[in-house]
Amino acid sequence: MQQQNHQNIETGIVPPQLNHGGHEMFDVHEVLAGSINTMNTYTMLSEHVQDPELRDILQRQKQFMADEYNITLESFKTGQDPSKRTQSYKMKQGNDFTYGMKPSQPTKPIQTAAEICDQSISLNMLNSVKSGAVMRTTAALETTNPVVRRVLADSLPNCIEMAYEISIYQNKNGFYQVPQLTQQDMQQMQNGYATAPVQPQNSGNLPH
């Protein structure tokens, strides 16, 4: 093994399945393990879901996660293009949020499994998806294999879309309230930045 590694350093020739750096190996391992944990979480929570809409979200997201996990795993094992292209997750609902805070009961940890409800289920789903987004970002920034890096980068918008879908569901059902600044404060912050000057691009002609 030491002789093979020495030859790789000397020649620069690395088999595709070994075209991974050390940091990449550890970080992609975290992504794959995290994906399994998220799917396991969805499976454990599924039997407690009451709302058909939340059950539909959970099932669609879990199925998409399984497909994306397989694509990531294949590219990680082979170091080459997977047999199936990465897909884009599409949510069903609109993107309208209700802004403002209403009085509500303080949140506290549940004491028994009987207290598991759609609110706690959707929160667990959201936290799992957000965690996956962070791990994929870290892994993509450490990845040397161009195919694995692209697969990880392509999966980030899907994590964001899933988290957005869950947060919209929570907001619609009063589980997630969104505070909002006054119109004056928002406009002041929006107007606190000016457009950066951009120099026109030359047509490629060098100065004489």
Q: What is the pLDDT of residues 26-46, one digit of tens each?
A: 999 999 999 999 999 999 999
Determine contact, residues 184/131, Cβ cutoff 8 Å. Answer: no
Domain for residue 135, yes or no?
yes
pLDDT of residue 140: 95
Query: For the ranges 43-57, 124-138, 189-203, which has the lowest average pLDDT?
Result: 189-203
Which residues, other chains included, contact 40 with Cβ-Cβ below 8 Å and sequence gap of 6+?
none
Distances (CA, A) of 192 to 90, 162, 184, 185, 196: 35, 32, 12, 11, 13
The CATH number of the domain where 29 resides is what? Answer: 1.20.1260.10
Domain for residue 178, yes or no?
no
pLDDT surpassing 60 at residue 7: no
Domain for residue 101, yes or no?
no
Domain that holds residue 127: 16-87+117-172
Average pLDDT (122-146) is 95
pLDDT of residue 95: 83
Model confidence band, residue 206 (pLDDT cutoffs 50, 70, 90) = low
pLDDT in tens, 165-176: 999 999 999 999
pLDDT surpassing 70 at residue 6: no
- List the structure tokens of 70: 């397989």
Domain for residue 188, yes or no?
no
pLDDT of residue 93: 80
Domain for residue 167, yes or no?
yes
Total domains in the chain come to: 1
Average pLDDT (94-115) is 88
Domain for residue 48, yes or no?
yes
Determine contact, residues 89/158, Cβ cutoff 8 Å. Answer: yes
Domain for residue 205, yes or no?
no
Average pLDDT (74-91) is 90
- List the structure tokens of 45: 């929570």
pLDDT of residue 8: 56
Domain for residue 150, yes or no?
yes
